[in-house]
Chains A and B, each alone.
Chain A
Amino acid sequence: MSEELSDEVKALESMIGEEYKYGFTTDVEYEEFPKGISEEIVRELSARKNEPEWMTDFRVKAYHAWKEMEEPNWFNATYKSPDFENLLYYSAPKKKPQLDSMDDVDPNIRETYEKLGIPLEEQKMLAGVAVDAVFDSVSIFTSFKEKLAEAGVIFCSMSEAIQEHPELVKKYLASVVPVRDNFYSALNSAVFSDGSFCFIPKGVACPMELSTYFRINNMESGQFERTLIVAEEGASVSYLEGCTAPMYDENQLHAAVVELVALDDADIKYSTIQNWYSGDENGRGGIYNFVTKRGICKGRNSKISWTQLETGSAVTLKYPSVILQGDNSIGEFYSVAVTTKMQQADTGTKMIHLGKNTKSTIISKGISAGKSNNSYRGEVKIGKKAHGSKNYSVCDSMLIGQECGAHTFPYISSENPTSSVEHEATTSRVGEEQIFYLMQRGISEQDAISMIINGFVKDVLKELPLEFAVEANKLLDVKLEGSVG
């Protein structure tokens, strides 16, 4: 095979590695806040946010727990450790947003969201989608709050939830991801700035899609958001997060924690379109995306489904997981991870089967191009009491060019003989032969490539909420097939 990349491969790479469109910065005046981390800083942060004492205590405890923990390094990725002492842990625009009134949002920030295609005025929004916009450390605006409240749904920023719904927050915060779960969850618990809170009461099907749009703007700040979604008995909700960041030469840290709780017969669908800045050709800059996402199917017949389209970040370490505690509960993980240039992604899922007749499905599709490295790490654990449980995993990798890597690390353990685990894995290369075959039929090179990639990721993208499937496809720059074939 010749060293030179063929035109097809180059076209493919340029298409996937298309110029990052969201790399602009917004000029905002920030509140002054000292850099670095200490108990004082954590207390100061809590004070700035006017938090009740229980919250301050939670943070301070978490800070001390974190201090004792070691930064993990078991990933299939190499990077420079974040300089925790030099980070800015709180970054809020000076103009205090009044969360109920659009007029008080800094016009520059409003414009930022317009540019990102997320207008904050409700009348301009996608009908049927409520948005919480998080800018650096704070939630700027949450739309359709009243309308959701009529249905009994609480959708607000985490800061607001701490003030307005302390009982709920106390009950569920860190109930799925304990503070000491890992290094980054402890750090997040100490310094989390904001995030979204969703509570769907008993029997309510949330009347619209909920979504949060995360934007890191400040070069020196880390983003530590915290999201908590609770669906009570028989409730259901579909939630989507999107993320972008400006292009900086320095790496920025994003260490979020997301917790999902599904009670009896509840159904939570959580989708992510992650498009953080991924650094340049030489691996300079880009976001470190070190995120802990976990859901618990606490009740019988409950269901949690993670769908993710991961295209950005310099380094991604992320394993959205489901604990299947309730009998007959269902966990799903659908993932497309695209890496190009020097990106590194180590992502996958954990399915922990505890209850009887629990089922999990994992479909992971990795596309690697350039000099990137894409690893799938999946753990399936079937506990002693999980009689009749089933897991089905498919893990496919597609390689583009000769310099990238794809790796699969399945970890399977079953303590129950009546359960079954099925794992399939394939690796393929986008072949010149496939492209030629389609071109011979009259299809242009670009379309041929789109079709091949689209075909590869189809099983995952069809899990995204309809409203966002378009965005997802645009993101992959893949032409959607005309109608269902």
Chain B
Amino acid sequence: MLEIKNLHAVVEGEDIEILKGVNLKVNAGEIHAIMGPNGSGKSTLSKVVSGHPEYEVTEGQILFEGEDITELDADERAHLGLFLAFQYPVEVPGITNKTLLREAYNTIARANEREELDPLEFEDYLESKLDVIEMKDEFLSRSINTGFSGGEKKKNEIFQMAVLDPKLSFLDETDSGLDIDALKIVSDGVNKIAGPEKAMVLITHYQRLLNYIKPDFVHIMMGGKIIKTGDFSLAEQLEAHGYDELQKEFSLNGAQ
């Protein structure tokens, strides 16, 4: 579904290279986890894949279902079925969650020549999705993320994911800031959304999340690259020994 080949990216207009040759392949039905120390480029990778204009791809390619999307605008990528749950969801005062979601849902539907939902139909559809993560419907009529608590913002991202029903989702540290109960609810929700036609990339610092959502692959990102890929046991290894050891191992490998 997603194939990232030797991806290099810099901050637009500046010489700072942040992604230094990322390779990643994600198939339908798979769940991937990306772990890595602060500042290693995890969020940047998710933003570059979703088309953030702040970054410029200087080398490499992003393929989505075989199509090269490297040059597409963020909205066009969203139309193809790409979703990003933000590490820091943005507040947009004056626009309700509901309005955003209806606009977004119908825009995506139009782009895919699917039928749009009228306001009443959409209302029902929204209601049906509230349960996925036990979201209160008062959040629908509040301005996007405005005044939401940290955890509420994260839940709202997953709610939006449930509504827009994307094929591939990047969840950037969705678990950070959630209390234990919320983590359980959100994880259950994510598991409900996952399926053989969908794929997910979870960016996280904690193995805890991976106990709830079992990844098929775990990647370690460092210095703008994925330096190691393994299965769930890699996360456990990391939890036990930290990044230092991996770093050494990588340096050794790199020196060979």
Contacts and interface: CB of A to CB of B under 8 A. Distances in A.
The listed residue with most A CB atoms (<10 A of its CB), out of B52, B79, B103, B104, is: B103
Given A439-B73, A482-B119, A483-B119, A431 B90 contact: yes
8 contacts: A2-B12, A4-B13, A436-B53, A439-B73, A440-B78, A442-B111, A442-B164, A443-B104
B160 A455 contact: no
B212 interface: no
B191 interface: no
A54 B57 CA distance: 77
Contacts of B111: 442
Contacts of B95: 451-452, 454-455, 481, 485
A443 B103 contact: yes
Contacts of B227: none
B173 to A, nearest CB: 16
A335 to B, nearest CB: 16
B14 interface: yes
B120 to A, nearest CB: 10
The listed residue with most A CB atoms (<10 A of its CB), out of B13, B51, B74, B84, is: B74
Contacts of A437: 86, 89-90, 92, 144
Interface of B: 12-14, 47, 50-54, 73-75, 78-79, 83-84, 86, 89-96, 98-105, 107-108, 111, 119, 141, 143-144, 160, 164
Nearest to B84: A440
Given A2-B13, A455-B95, 17 more contacts: A4-B13, A6-B53, A432-B54, A437-B86, A437-B92, A440-B78, A440-B86, A441-B104, A443-B103, A444-B75, A444-B107, A445-B73, A445-B75, A448-B75, A455-B92, A458-B94, A485-B99
B252 to A, nearest CB: 39
B92 A441 contact: no
A196 B52 CA distance: 53
Contacts of B52: 436
A437 B51 CA distance: 11
Interface in A419-448: 431-434, 436-445, 447-448
A481 B99 contact: yes
The listed residue with most A CB atoms (<10 A of its CB), out of B12, B78, B160, is: B78
B22 to A, nearest CB: 19
B104 A442 contact: yes
Contacts of A432: 53-54
A343 B119 CA distance: 40
A8 interface: yes
Interface of A: 2, 4, 6-8, 431-434, 436-445, 447-448, 451-452, 454-459, 481-483, 485
Contacts of A459: 94
Nearest to B93: A455
Contacts of A482: 99, 102, 119
Contacts of B12: 2
Nearest to B88: A433
B53 A2 contact: no
Nearest to A451: B95
A212 to B, nearest CB: 30
B108 A442 contact: yes
Contacts of A442: 75, 78-79, 104-105, 107-108, 111, 164
Given A7-B53, A482-B99, A441 B13 contact: no
Nearest to A485: B96
The listed residue with most B CB atoms (<10 A of its CB), out of A442, A443, A448, A482, is: A442
Contacts of B74: 436, 439-440
Contact of A441 (B53, B91, B164): B164
Contact of A443 (B75, B86, B89, B94): B75
Nearest to A483: B119
Contacts of A4: 13
Contacts of A441: 78, 100-101, 104, 160, 164
Nearest to A433: B90
Contacts of A443: 75, 100, 103-104, 107
A455 B143 contact: yes
Contact of A456 (B84, B93, B119): B93
The listed residue with most A CB atoms (<10 A of its CB), out of B54, B93, B102, is: B93
B53 A440 contact: no
Contacts of B102: 482
Contacts of A451: 92, 95, 99-100, 103
A70 to B, nearest CB: 43
A235 to B, nearest CB: 34
B69 to A, nearest CB: 13
The listed residue with most A CB atoms (<10 A of its CB), out of B83, B99, B102, is: B99
A66 B95 CA distance: 48
Contacts of A481: 95, 99
Instruction: List the 6 closest pairs (A to B, CB-CB), nearest first.
Output: A455-B94, A442-B78, A439-B74, A485-B96, A441-B104, A2-B13
Nearest to B97: A485
B14 A2 contact: yes
Nearest to A365: B94
B92 A452 contact: yes
Given A434-B90, A437-B90, A447 B103 contact: yes
Contacts of B50: 440
A7 B53 CA distance: 9
Contacts of A431: 90
Given A439-B75, A442-B78, A456 B94 contact: yes
A190 B156 CA distance: 61
A431 B79 CA distance: 22
Contacts of A444: 75, 107
Nearest to B145: A437
Given A2-B14, A441-B100, A445-B75, A434 B92 contact: yes
The listed residue with most A CB atoms (<10 A of its CB), out of B83, B94, B111, is: B94
B28 to A, nearest CB: 20
Nearest to A447: B103
B177 to A, nearest CB: 18
